[in-house]
Amino acid sequence: MSSLRSFLRLFFVGGLISYRALFNWLRPSIYIPTMLGAPIFQILFFTYLGRFRDLESDSWFVVGNAVQSCSMAAVYAGTMTIANERWMGTLSPLLASPANRAALFLGRSVPLIANGLFVSAVGLGVSSLLLDFHPAASSLPALGLVVAVSAGSCTGFGLLLGSIGLRARDVLFGANLAYFLMLLFCGVNVPLDALPAWMEAIGRALPLTHGIEAAREVAAGAALGEVAGLVWTEVGIAVAYGASAYFLFSYFERESRRRASLETM
Amino acid sequence: MKTLRLLALGWGLHFKMLSRSAFDGVLGVMWPLFFATIAFFMFRAGGGGATLLYAALGASVMGIWSATAVAASSALQRERWQGTLELLVAAPSHFSLVLLPITLAMATIGVYSMAATLLWGRFLFGIEIHLEHPLLFVLAVPVTVGSIGMLGFLLSVTVVRYRTAWALGNAFEYPVWLVCGFLVPLSLLPGWVRPISWALAPTWGIRAIREAALGGAPVADLAICAGLGACYAAAGILLVETVLRSARAHASLSLS
């Protein structure tokens, strides 16, 4: 019982504290322009470009970019919440502690999913005021679920990058690169069938792709059951990236103890 | 002569430093390539009459603005972190002559991304780069780069007292891409946006570059672009004085 309580405490309280301490962009003066302002202008930019090219509807671009904006929080924050332990010199005490690694690791993902959900919701809300995007109120709960799942898979991906940060020097460079690759490969602004086959194949293995597809169908009026296949695929991708991140973290932890390379910058 | 030497040395020094930074150099070139690729796919998949060269030119100037906006907004913060801001302010040269080469070097990094975008479009997407007025095109590029550098200079001075200025630089990226008509014609935007577009030199720069490449009369656009760049420089120099006087009076140069 006490071990369960300790697990839960570490999961919730530890996750929240680490998010507050290690996510560099939490201050409103950074959070508002970066996490809210930039995604809103991204939505506007690509929606107007889509109108100019007569490519897809406003709704198609709004949903794609709003769901994609949850990846900004998830990928960057996921990377920061692990890699910053090293930069701030708190990694050694953390790994010397007997804390349950699964609770430590999974607890960090909850605030990131909530953050991603919030960022996407703001993007969708502002778009409904400025653009031709008016989803039915009944579709919002399903849309929220799809965005939460997408944020979860992006968080898994971000934690994987963060785990690499236990070894790599400049992991934020990698996070930037991954973020832009997702923008290109995941069918956010270019329909997947307009991409070369190899890009589409990579996109199908990345987080977001299936989530965006599901969200677009839900916003167009489909029931959650009709997009269950896409949502479960996104869940599977989230689990795969999350598990890979956990095992990589454990591996690098063991290796860095063995090679005394924990604090090597 | 001394002034020119200072500007040239400062530009060279900062250009070298930025070129060797993975974040400002490598990513600064790669970032616009991602957006250019998205734009090429969108232009190819969609309807309408604009050519891929239209997209390539717009995407290439987007790269110049990206390289400038983020780096310029954090230029003084960077000096502050490195502990060199006080030394630069205390130097006998006017501070704007120290700051100008930094933002010009940032805009020059953008020329890398411009060249990379055009070559990317040529070799991966088969975009023929046929220039209607080659000489005017060659003139339009440095004038646009210089004006964007001046806009970066004004931005860096304006946000000097703002602790998290780099975040503002990020936030300015998409809005300028949009309102300057790099890829989306201004006629598609709401009417109230146009006066904002007209006040921004990149709007005239991209128009001049496009008219030089695709056909048209770019000279007037070039003149407006250069004129606006000069206005930004003058405004920045005046603002530097005010900001530095205030920072000295409040002893807040390294605190803000």
Cβ pair A184:B162 closer than 8 A = no
Coil, strand or helix: which one is A108?
A: coil
The size of chain B, in residues, is 256
- pLDDT higher than threshold 90 for residue A178: no
Of B31, B174, B188, the CB nearest to A52: B188
Instruction: Determine the pLDDT at residue A44.
Output: 96
For residue A7, being part of any structural domain is answered with yes
Which residue, A258, A219, A175, is CA-closest to A67? A219
Q: Which pLDDT score, from 0 to 100, does residue B16 have?
A: 85
d(CA A214, CA A231): 7
Q: Which of A84-88, A135-139, A245-249 has the lowest mean pLDDT?
A: A84-88
Give every CB contact of residue B204 below 8 A, 6+ residues apart in sequence: B147, B221, B222, B224, B225, B228
User: Is A156 within a domain?
Assistant: yes
Residue A107 Cα to chain centre, angstroms:
15
Task: Supply the pLDDT for residue B45.
Answer: 85
Q: Which two tokens stand for residue A93?
A: 């005490």
B26 contacts in chain A (CB < 8 Å): 173
B202-220 b/e with 16+ CB inside 10 Å = b? Answer: bbbbbbbbbbbbbeeebee
- On the question of pLDDT at A15 being above 90, the answer is no
Whether pLDDT at B142 is above 60:
yes
What would the pLDDT profile of B1-34 be if each residue is shown by its tens digit? 788 898 899 888 888 887 777 666 666 677 778 8
A175/B contact by beta carbon, under 8 A: no
Give me the pLDDT at residue B129, please. 83
pLDDT of amino acid B50: 62
Residues of B in contact with A48 (CB under 8 A): 178, 184, 188-189
- For residue B22, the model assigns a pLDDT of 65
Q: Which among B204, B102, B199 is positioned nearest to B153, based on CA atoms?
A: B102
> Per the CB < 8 Å rule, is B178 touching A41?
yes
Give the pLDDT band of residue A89 (cuts 50, 70, 90). Answer: confident
Can you say how many angstroms the Cα of residue A184 is from the centroid of all Cα atoms in its chain?
Answer: 15
Look up residue B97 and give its two tokens.
């002559």
pLDDT tens digit string along B179-211? 999 999 999 999 999 999 999 999 999 999 999
Distance CA B74, CA B71 (A): 5
pLDDT higher at A258 or A157: A157
Please return the burial class of A43, using the count of CB atoms within 10 Å of its CB with bins 0-12, 13-18 and 19+: buried
Cα(A108)–Cα(A15) distance, rounded to whole angstroms?
4
- ipTM (interface predicted TM): 0.87
Q: Which residues contact B224 (CB under 8 A, 6 or more apart)?
A: B201, B204
What is the per-residue pLDDT for A108? 82
Chain B residue closest in CA terms to A61: B42
Extract the tokens encoding A12.
Answer: 């919730």
Residue A130's pLDDT is 93
Task: Kindly determine whether residue A33 and residue B168, on different chains, have CB atoms separated by under 8 Å.
Answer: yes
DSSP letter (8 states) at residue A192:
G
CB of A84 less than 8 A from some CB of B: no
Nearest residue to A74 (alpha-carbon basis) of A143, A160, A146: A160
Residue type, A226: E
Distance, in Å, from the CA atom of B44 to the CA atom of B38, rounded to the nearest integer, reads: 10
The contacts of residue B123 (CB under 8 Å, 6+ apart) are none
Instruction: Answer yes or no: is pLDDT of A113 > 60.
Output: yes
Pairwise pLDDT comparison (A83 vs A164), residue with the higher score: A164
Least confident of A10-14, B140-144, B173-177, B178-182: A10-14
Residue B175 pLDDT level (bands cut at 50, 70, 90): very high
Which residues, 6 or more positions from B34, have their beta carbon under 8 angstroms from its beta carbon?
A180, A181, A183, A184
CA-to-CA separations, B150 to A16, A265, B228, in angstroms, rounded:
43, 37, 9
* B184 CB burial (10 A radius; 0-12, 13-18, 19+): buried
- The pLDDT, as a whole number, for residue A255 is 85
Q: How many angstroms separate the CA atoms of A113 and A119, rounded?
A: 10
- A181 to chain B, any CB pair closer than 8 A? The answer is yes
Over residues B163-169, the mean pLDDT reads: 74
Token pair of A74, please? Answer: 């998830």
Residue B220 confidence class, pLDDT cut points 50, 70, 90: very high
Tell me how far the alpha carbon of residue B144 is from its chain's centroid: 8
**Least CB-CB distance to B48: which of A33, A42, A53?**
A53
Helices B165-179, B134-158: crossing angle, 10 deg rounding: 140
Alpha carbons A101 and A111: distance in angstroms, whole number: 17
- The verdict on A194 touching B (C-beta cutoff 8 Å) is yes
pLDDT at A183 over 70: yes
Q: What is the pLDDT of residue B32?
A: 79
B77, B166 contact by CB (below 8 A)? yes
| pLDDT computed for residue B107 by the predictor | 78
Confirm whether A265 is domain-assigned. no
Structure token digits, residue A136: 């039915």
Q: Which of A37, A54, A191 sits opposite B171 (nearest CB)?
A: A37
Does any CB of chain A come closer than 8 Å to the CB of residue B178?
yes
Instruction: Return the pLDDT at B159.
Output: 78
Q: How many Cβ contacts (< 8 angstroms) between chains A and B?
A: 96
pLDDT band at A139 (very low <50, low <70, confident <90, very high): very high
**Dihedral in degrees, nearest 10, Cα atoms B17, B22, B28, B30:** 140
- The answer to whether residue A264 sits within a structural domain is no
Mean pLDDT of B212-234: 94
Q: Which chain A residues are Cβ-neighbours of B177 within 8 angstroms?
A: 45
User: What average pLDDT score do residues B148-176 get?
Assistant: 82
For residue A76, give every residue at least 6 positions away whose Cβ sits within 8 Å of its Cβ, in sequence order, or none.
Answer: A25, A158, A172, A175, A179
Which residue among B22, B174, B184 places its CB closest to the CB of A170? B22
Greater confidence (B80 vs B115) lies with B115
CA distance A177 to A169: 15
Residue A226: the pLDDT is: 94
Distances (CA, A) of A25 to A21, A37, A114, B219: 10, 13, 15, 44
- Contact criterion met (CB < 8 Å) for A191 and B47: no
Average pLDDT, integer, range B72-82: 78
Compute the average pLDDT of residues B129-150. Answer: 91
Helix %, strand %, coil % of chain B (to 5): 80, 0, 20
What range defines the domain where residue A66 resides?
Answer: 2-259
Domain count, chain A: 1
Q: Hey, what are B159's tokens?
A: 């946000």
Q: For chain A, what is the mean pLDDT? A: 88
Asked if the structure places residue A128 within a domain, the reply is yes
More confident residue, A21 or B147: B147
Structure tokens given for A213: 């597809």
Cα–Cα dist A104/A102, whole Å: 5
DSSP 8-state code for residue A54: T
Q: Residue B24 has what pLDDT?
A: 63
CA distance A67 to A190: 14
The pair phi, psi for residue A136, each rounded to 5°, is: -65, 140
Bigger pLDDT: B167 vs B9 = B9
Asked which of A175-184, A188-197, B161-170 is least confident by mean pLDDT, the reply is B161-170
Q: What is the distance in angstroms between the Cα of B2 and the nearest Cα belonging to chain A?
A: 39
Lowest mean pLDDT among A198-202, B170-174, B205-209, B248-252: B248-252
Mean pLDDT of chain B: 85
The pLDDT confidence band at residue A45, using thresholds 50, 70 and 90, is very high
Q: What would the pLDDT profile of B102-139 be if each residue is shown by its tens digit?
A: 888 887 877 888 888 889 888 888 888 888 999 999 99
